Amino acid sequence: MVAVVLLERVEKLGQMGQVVNVKPGFARNFLLPKRKALRATKENLAYFEKQRAQLEAANLKRRGEAEEVAAKLGGLQVVIVRQAG
């Protein structure tokens, strides 16, 4: 198992700032390349604490943008006609 600190909320794993243990392949192939987590070393934990306010602000901005799109699409109905056979 590899210990990582999450840089954003990951569904079914944890919230931003939590140190979680994951399988090495999941960390290597998904979390680290997509910049969703850092390895939980002393240097990375110190870096995270310095950058925490900026990361939280970026996450709130993305959430606000997503809520605006959700409000626009709220009552939208789409009908797709497709021939079946």
We find that the CATH architecture of domain 2-72 is: 3-Layer(aba) Sandwich (3.40)
Helix and strand numbers, DSSP H then E, in the chain: 2, 3
User: Average per-residue pLDDT in the chain?
Assistant: 90
Choose among 19, 15, 17: nearest CA to 2. Answer: 19
Choose among 62, 9, 63: nearest CA to 37. Answer: 9
pTM here is 0.69
Residue-wise pLDDT for 24-50, tens only, equals 999 999 999 999 999 999 999 998 888
Structure tokens at 74: 């709220």
The rounded distance, in Å, linking the Cα atoms of 38 and 74 is 35
